Amino acid sequence: MKKRKSSGLVWTIILTIAALLWVYPIFMILFNSLKKESAINTASAFSLPVPDTFAGFENYINAIGSKGFLSSLTFSLFITLTSVAAILICCSMCAWYITRVNGKLSQILYYLFVFSMVVPFQMVMFTLSQTADRLKLNTPWNIWVIYLGFGAGLAVFMFCGFVKSIPVEVEEAAMIDGCNPLQTFFLIDIHILKPTMISVGILEAMWVWNDYLLPTLVLDIKKYKTIPMLIQYFRGSYGKVEMGPMMASIMLTVIPIIIVYLAGQKYIIKGVAAGAVKG
């Protein structure tokens, strides 16, 4: 018994070191973003800021004040919220229908959705951006239609898995009591599906928020930039990249994610595990 305890301690120490190494890249960006522009260079990248090189929040103020950061943040937030809301409502309804109504149509739809999950984005990227242009779906206000279409596969697939586990009797009872299908779904099933909604919502939100290629191709880059587009643009367009504000903007996009994660990690980790079991 004693031996086991000490080996447990050894493993805890090893894991602690691994965990520290794991978060190191983020901390490195954090403390470099607090240095003065002149003090950021490859030779001293691993040293902490000292009073001489400490710049306070100057880089952060520059990054937030720079053209486009706040509007990018707003676009990213808006696109993520509308897309995830659309995916959750539309796909859960669709999944409920195709699990409850058996028939050729449901089956074909189901397999099409599953198929779409495997197809790489490069297959459709050109034609999708052209379709979006033609249908005027190329603004942040309605790009959610595209996200709904391209993200439907995973969402419908996951919802189908969970709807199967809801007893039909509950719904039949509601129907006998006079509910129409819409009422049955919105008054009964939606509550049973709540945990799944959270899981699917988190997975889709992570995807939309971090997505780079789809908005780059669909949106007009001169007018609208999401956060990943802004970071890529930041790097690509200047002759000399200003490292300070660059690292500050990286931190500004990473910190909210970490806060959301720490607040909702119970759901996020559950969502990942649940998504995988059904996937």
Considering only residues 165-194, where is the footprint of other proteins by CB under 8 A? 168, 171-172, 175, 180-182, 185
The CA-based angle 97-99-101, given to 5 degrees, is 60
When computed from its CA atoms, the radius of gyration of the chain, rounded to whole angstroms, is 24
Q: Which stretch binds other proteins (CB under 8 A): 42-50, 58-66, 67-75, 193-201?
A: 42-50
Of the candidate residues 38, 127, 165, 237, the single one contacting other proteins (CB under 8 A): 127
Nearer to other proteins among residue 172 and residue 220 (C-beta): 172
Nearer to other proteins among residue 128 and residue 193 (C-beta): 128
Element (H, E) at 189: none
Distance CA 241, CA 234 (A): 8
CA 91 to chain centre: 17
Of the candidate residues 17, 112, 170, 221, the single one contacting other proteins (CB under 8 A): 112
Nearest approach, Cβ of residue 65 and other proteins (Å): 20
Total binding residues for other proteins by CB under 8 A?
A: 94
Query: Of 4-23, which residues contact other proteins (CB under 8 A)?
Result: 8, 11-12, 15-16, 19, 22-23
Q: Which residue has 């809801």 as its token pair?
A: 166
Our finding on whether 124 is near other proteins (CB under 8 A) is yes
Distance CA 51, CA 245 (A): 19
Which tokens hold the place of 17? 């070191």
Our finding on whether 109 is near other proteins (CB under 8 A) is yes
Distance CA 264, CA 128 (A): 34
Closest CA to 90 of 141, 167, 155: 155
Our finding on whether 49 is near other proteins (CB under 8 A) is no
Nearest approach, Cβ of residue 218 and other proteins (Å): 10
Our finding on whether 139 is near other proteins (CB under 8 A) is no
Q: Which residue has 């805890």 as its token pair?
A: 12
Our finding on whether 153 is near other proteins (CB under 8 A) is yes
